[in-house]
Amino acid sequence: MTNPYIAIIVPTYNHEKFIGRCLRSLLNQTFARDKYEIIVVDDGSTDTTMAAIAAANQRNPHVRCISLSRNFGKEAALSAGLDHARGQAVVPMDVDLQDPPEVLGEMVAKWRAGYDTIYGVRRNRASDSLPKRLSADLYYKAHNLLSADKIPDHAGDFRLLDRRVVDVLRALPERNRFMKGLFAWSGFKQTSVEYDRAERTLGETKFKPWKLWTLAIDGITSSSTVPLRIWTYVGATIALMSFIYAFIIIAKVLVFGIAVP
């Protein structure tokens, strides 16, 4: 692999002010000396995101764009990016530089050493608010308890995926995709690199609590059949109790007749 072709996927939603900075920072990394492409996925932004991507593409044709017709959410934006990425290695990363581009060198080195997935693990979550940290911890615990596909602690979507992994993910029939669950399911030879997650200095999170909650429910229901089984048992128990009660009523009428109301 002397001439690797690396594709970076950057899902972006109303984060216009980060695009220039993100691209500059990416192009300073060593991978940019090889063949590369940076696919910015505009997830239905209503600000000047599209104009910023178009301008970046004018300056550097390695910067490509996918424009979604409305806001579909980060999972869909990532899927669209994976479908169009041409790299032998593909790296999804956030536009707000919370996933530090400096870690890419270490990821590429481990990829060259033979790993298929190299996921970033946050050394600390100090950049997240306490409620976000607590709810994330609780969520990962619940997910890993219920699902056989374990999501590693403190890992997000930031990771390097070999072409083999990307092809497997693309072949999945899922429409509503929970990427962290699918990454965990995919298998292959995995390792991690640690990084310090940058403060969210300028941008604010685009994940409102309700969006996060929906993502959490999607995550669990798409990676585990336990909730489905629980409701099967609840349903069966209620049905059984109803049958027993009906039998008691019929037996009472047969034995004692109908009571005068």
Binding site for Mg ion (CB under 5 A): 96, 98
The one-letter amino acid at 106: E
Residue 197 binds: one of Mg ion, ligand UDP, none (C-beta under 5 to 8 A by kind): none
Tell me how far apart the alpha carbons of residues 94 and 19 are, in angstroms, rounded to a whole number: 10
* Phi/psi-derived region of residue 223, left when phi > 0, alpha when psi is between -120 and 50, beta in every other case: alpha
Residue 43 binds: one of Mg ion, ligand UDP, none (C-beta under 5 to 8 A by kind): ligand UDP
Q: Cβ closer to ligand UDP: 74 or 177?
A: 74
Q: Cβ closer to ligand UDP: 67 or 88?
A: 67
List 41's β-bridge partners, or say none: 11, 66
List 12's β-bridge partners, or say none: 42
Cα 189 from chain centroid? 19
Q: How far is the CB of 98 from Mg ion (least distance, A)?
A: 4
Q: Cβ closer to ligand UDP: 88 or 205?
A: 205
Q: Cβ closer to ligand UDP: 5 or 207?
A: 207
Q: How far is the CB of 221 from ligand UDP (least distance, A)?
A: 20
Q: Cβ closer to Mg ion: 13 or 178?
A: 13
SS3 141: helix
Q: How far is the CB of 18 from Mg ion (least distance, A)?
A: 9
Q: How far is the CB of 34 from ligand UDP (least distance, A)?
A: 24
Q: First and final CA of the chain: distance in angstroms?
A: 88
Tell me how far apart the alpha carbons of residues 187 and 178 are, in angstroms, rounded to a whole number: 16
| Contact set with ligand UDP (CB under 6 A) | 11-13, 15, 43, 71, 73-74, 77, 94-96, 98, 200, 205-207
Give me 233's structure tokens.
């048992």
Q: How far is the CB of 94 from ligand UDP (least distance, A)?
A: 4
Residue 71 binds: one of ligand UDP, Mg ion, none (C-beta under 5 to 8 A by kind): ligand UDP
Cβ neighbours of 185 (radius 10 Å):
18
Residue 15 binds: one of Mg ion, ligand UDP, none (C-beta under 5 to 8 A by kind): ligand UDP
Spatial neighbors of 202 by CB under 8 A, at least 6 apart, are: 17, 18, 96
